[in-house]
Structures are given as C-alpha cells and as structure tokens.
Structure 1
Amino acid sequence: MLPFLRRLVLLGALSAVSLSAAQAQKKLKYPKPQPDQIYDAVQKPAVPVGGLQAYAGYLAKNQQYPTKALQSGLEGTVNVTFVVEKSGVISNVAVLQPLSPALDAEAIRLIKGGPKWTPAEHRGGRVRQRVTVPISFLLPLGAGGPAPATAEEQTVPTSPGGPTVVKAEQPARPVGGTEAFFEWIQKNQRYPDLARQRKIEGRVPVEFMIQPDGSLTDVKLAGKRLGSGLDEEALRLIKAAPKWEPARFQGKPVKQKMVLPVIFQL
C-alpha cells in the first residue's frame, strides 16, 4: 500500500477510535437517572408548591407547641429529613437528631401535613430528592419558667426611695401545678364560631401580672393577633383563670410578670 493511503487509513482509524472514546466518556459522565435513586444534589431542586415563603408561613401558622414541652421549658430546632417523590408527595419522614419526643413528633406532624412539592429535575427528568427542613421551637417569654426581672415584674419595697428589682427565689406557679392550669384552659375554652368557620388555629401569647395575693391582673395581648374572636377568648380565659402561688423573695410574696400562650386547635 502506498504511504499516502496508509496515512489516510490510519487517520480514519484514529478518528473512529477518538469518536468512540468521546461517546463512551459522554455516556459515563452523564448516565441516565435510575428510577429509584434518591439524590442529595440535583440540577433543579425540589421546592414547595407556592414557594418557600408560603411554606415558611404554613410552618409558622400551623405549629402547635406541645403542652409538655411548654411545661418543661423545652425549645430548640428539630431537623426533619424526607424524600420528595417524583409525584411531589413526601415520604421517609424522619428526625435526624432527636431533641425531645414531644417536639420531634410535632415537627414530623408539620412536615407530613404540609403542601405537596414540585419535584426535583436532574439530567432532563424528574428524580427523587432528599430534603432537610429545620423546624424551630421558641418558647414565648415566660413560658416554662419565670420571666426576666424588670422594674414591673418582680419588685419588693426595701427602701424609702422606692421598689428594688429582685430575682425571685421561688417563681410563681399555678395552684395545682402547670399541668392543671393548661387542663383548665383547655376545659374552659370556647372556640369562637367565626374562627371555627374560617378554620383558624394558632396560639395567642397573653401577658399578665401575678400579684402577691396570687390574683392575675393587667391582662393584655403580647404578640401577633389571630383575629376572628380568638384574641378576645384568650384574654377572657386568663382573666377568669384560677389564682397562682405568687413568686417569693426572702420568704415574702412579690409581683411577677408572665407571658403564656393560649393554644387554639380544631
């Protein structure tokens, strides 16, 4: 064979080899997604239907702080992991690092009861994606224990110059215990018809002063209003609530301010 023809054949062979190698590399680099594979990183992540802001609003509106956690003064963040399926529903819901049984269960309930998601996309198709969402539980001021001292909260007249701010040696407590107090609230709660019709749920933080005689005075709202009669019902409940055992300093009863949430759940 002439040298020219030999070079031509060799170039053709090398081109074919290069093309085959490029095709093989392309297939290796971009494999077709497996039907049941769960991805942590994707080209187009899954998002809640309605957007992230609406989803955050859902979590905040529907969170129901467990009574046991309130009574124990528990707060923190529960990281919930789950899989967004190709249909947009979620599955495999679990807590990564347990915080407390009550808070973990509420975080899982929130995620399971949430809206569907727009599924993730990767390499031209829908895929399953693992997602982690943090659910934060923050106690209202005063829940689960005494509120920080201020000139109005815990005072005792110790000098002619006026009251002195003190830290109570024994914080105020409901007569019969915290559990009995929350049971009284639930038993005597009258869910407003308008709120029931509109299916409004949530918690209303209420501020009040516990006087040295144990009576509750200066009752007022201390946070975001829910409306539809829920705010008024929360105020009525606290005003009608049984007396507390007052805070004590050096054996004597003193005033203490408290903020507790009244929870409304259909």
Structure 2
Amino acid sequence: MPSTARRIALLLALSAVSLTAAQAQQKLKYPKTQSDQIYDAVAKPAVPVGGLQAYADYLEKNQQYPTAALQGGREGTVEVSFVIEKSGGVSNVVAKNSVDPALDAEAIRLIKGGPKWTPAENKGAKVRQRVTVPITFHLPLGAGGPAPATSDANEELKPTGPGGATVVKAEQPARPVGGTDAFFAWIQQNLRYPALARKKNIQGKVLVEFMVQKDGSLTDVKLVKRLGAGCDEEALRLIKAAPKWEPALYQGQPVKQKMVLPVLFTLL
C-alpha cells in the first residue's frame, strides 16, 4: 500500500511537471499581430527618416502662413494626429484641435507632404502606429491683420501710436485690388528666381512687412523673415513694385494699415 501511494504521488508530480512545461511553452508563443491594428505605444516607435531634428527643420522651412490667418491675426498650435503605415508613409491625417480652418489645413498639408518615417516595430514585426505632432503658428512681429490700423483724422481718439498717430481697429482690412488670389498670382508671374538661390536649390518663404497707405500705395517695405541667396532682395523688389491695394476703412474713411505677407520661392 505504501508502494502504491508512492506511485500515485509520483504520477501526480510528473503530471504537474508536464502541465507546467506545456503552459510555459504556450506562453512563449507570441499572439499573432493584427495586420491592420494601430498601436499608440510600442517598444520601438516610428521615427522620421533623417531624425527628429531634420523633421523639425522641414516643418519650419516649409510652413506657409495662410494669408487669411495673417490678416486676421490668428495664431496657435495645431495638434495633428496621423498613422505611420508599415511602408513609412502617413495616413488618416486629422487636426485633433481646431485652431483656425486655414491653420488646420496648412498643418495637415505639412504632415501629408513631409518625409517618410521609419515604421514602428512590435515583437519583431513592422506595425502601424498613431502619432501626434504639434505644429505652432506664431504671427511675425508687426503682423496682426485688421488691427492695428492708423489714422490721423479722428480727433475723438487719443494718440497712442508713434508720432501721435492714433491706433484703431479697422472695420474693413486692407486688401489687394482684385483679391488675394490675384495678388499672389501677380507675385508668381513677376518673380525672378535669383540665380544663386536656384544654383543652391534654396526654397522657402520671405516674410515682408509693409504699410498700405490711405491711397492704396505700399510703403515702408522691410523684411521680417529672411531666406538669403538673393531671395530677400527679390521679395522687397516685388512688394515695392506691386499694384495698389484697397485701403483699410475706419468709420467709412481710409486709414493706413500695416501688413505682413509671405513671398514664396519654389523650384519647379
């Protein structure tokens, strides 16, 4: 009887060992990754090809501040959510927080037109990963859209600007004759791409500040953001030679208004 008991105990022990081994073997098997699953966090996350600094440089260099947002004095940070595919491309690009329709659209354009990514990996296999990138729009110094405009004709307002000029909010902002699209079409038609910039493959934008006078002429033209290689000088030339604008209006009367607009240099 004791011998039988020992045999039973041994059989139970062997069964337990076999069960434990089977369970351990089962745990070693990785669950199959869903081919279309999107991960928010993985052991090896996706990174931009060229590195994060190069990607940040791309975003800064290629950002085109929408004219409507510039004129309206709108700025802020758009958080763009998108999916890095296994191929390194991007999809499902959306603005998580709406700052302004024009700024949202520009942030989405930047992400869609950006460089490829090195895809994320999970358990040794490439997977799709959701990423969020903040894109910030800061108004250049001196920009502010419809406000301020300056007037020296309204005596009821106290002088607050330099030289005694009155700073007011224009009821109707200055705008190009024929519209913004026509103005930028004129810029592109008359732009002479500098030879040095073309040779060095330099592309980007120059931000130019100017004053729209009460007669619609453009004066006090100066640079806010430079690009170099002859692009700055060409941008100044274009604005100085540009057609007149419709001046800003305050209480039905034309007033001076400061504007900041981008001149784009793009090699085709």
User: What is the TM-score when the length of structure 2 is the normalising length?
Assistant: 0.77
Cα separation, 2, equivalents of 1:249 and 1:91: 47
Partner in structure 2 of residue 9 of structure 1: 11
Cα deviation digits, residues 133-191 of structure 1 (max 9, x gap):
45555665787942x32xxx513153898735242333222233323222221221111
Q: Percent identity of the aligned residues?
A: 64
Answer yes or no: is the 8 Å Cα contact 2:197–2:231 preserved in 1: yes
Partner in structure 2 of residue 234 of structure 1: 235
Structure 1, gaps ≥5 residues long: none
Cα separation, 2, equivalents of 1:78 and 1:51: 20
Question: Given the superposition, is the C-alpha separation of residues 178 and 264 from structure 1 closer, same or farther in structure 2, using an over 3 Å criterion?
Answer: same
Please list, as runs of the form range in 1=range in 2, the aligned pairs for 1:252-263 lying within 5 A after superposition: 252-263=253-264
Cα separation, 2, equivalents of 1:210 and 1:109: 30
Aligned amino acid, residue 83 of structure 2: F
Partner in structure 2 of residue 219 of structure 1: 221
Cα separation, 1, equivalents of 2:171 and 2:101: 31
Answer yes or no: is the 8 Å Cα contact 1:83–1:90 preserved in 2: yes
Question: Given the superposition, is the C-alpha separation of residues 163 and 110 from structure 1 closer, same or farther in structure 2, using an over 3 Å criterion?
Answer: closer
Cα separation, 2, equivalents of 1:34 and 1:247: 59
Question: Given the superposition, is the C-alpha separation of residues 95 and 176 from structure 1 closer, same or farther in structure 2, using an over 3 Å criterion?
Answer: same
Answer yes or no: is the 8 Å Cα contact 2:93–2:111 preserved in 1: no
Cα separation, 2, equivalents of 1:201 and 1:138: 20
Instruction: Return the match for 1:210 from 212, 224, 236.
Output: 212
Answer yes or no: is the 8 Å Cα contact 2:38–2:130 preserved in 1: yes
Secondary structure at the residue paired with 2:164? strand
Question: Given the superposition, is the C-alpha separation of residues 115 and 189 from structure 1 closer, same or farther in structure 2, using an over 3 Å criterion?
Answer: same
Q: Which moved more, 1:156-165 or 1:118-127?
A: 156-165
- Could you tell me how far 1:47 is from its partner in structure 2? 0.5
Partner in structure 1 of residue 175 of structure 2: 173
1:248 partnered with 2:249 = yes
Answer yes or no: is the 8 Å Cα contact 1:173–1:247 preserved in 2: yes
Secondary structure at the residue paired with 1:255? strand
Partner in structure 2 of residue 116 of structure 1: 116
- Could you tell me how far 1:238 is from its partner in structure 2? 0.7
Question: Superposition RMSD on alpha carbons, in Å?
Answer: 3.5
Partner in structure 1 of residue 31 of structure 2: 31
Q: Which moved more, 1:133-142 or 1:177-186?
A: 133-142
- Could you tell me how far 1:230 is from its partner in structure 2? 0.8
Question: Given the superposition, is the C-alpha separation of residues 264 and 71 from structure 1 closer, same or farther in structure 2, using an over 3 Å criterion?
Answer: farther
1:156 partnered with 2:152 = yes
Cα separation, 1, equivalents of 2:214 and 2:82: 48
Partner in structure 1 of residue 20 of structure 2: 18
Question: Given the superposition, is the C-alpha separation of residues 32 and 169 from structure 1 closer, same or farther in structure 2, using an over 3 Å criterion?
Answer: closer
Partner in structure 1 of residue 128 of structure 2: 128
Structure 2, gaps ≥5 residues long: none
Q: Which moved more, 1:49-58 or 1:32-41?
A: 32-41
Aligned amino acid, residue 173 of structure 2: P
Partner in structure 1 of residue 63 of structure 2: 63
Aligned amino acid, residue 90 of structure 1: G
Cα deviation digits, residues 181-233 of structure 1 (max 9, x gap):
2222122111111112222222111111122222211110012x111111111
Secondary structure at the residue paired with 2:228? coil
Answer yes or no: is the 8 Å Cα contact 1:209–1:257 preserved in 2: yes
Aligned amino acid, residue 15 of structure 1: V
Secondary structure at the residue paired with 1:126? strand
Cα separation, 2, equivalents of 1:71 and 1:42: 42
Answer yes or no: is the 8 Å Cα contact 1:80–1:107 preserved in 2: no
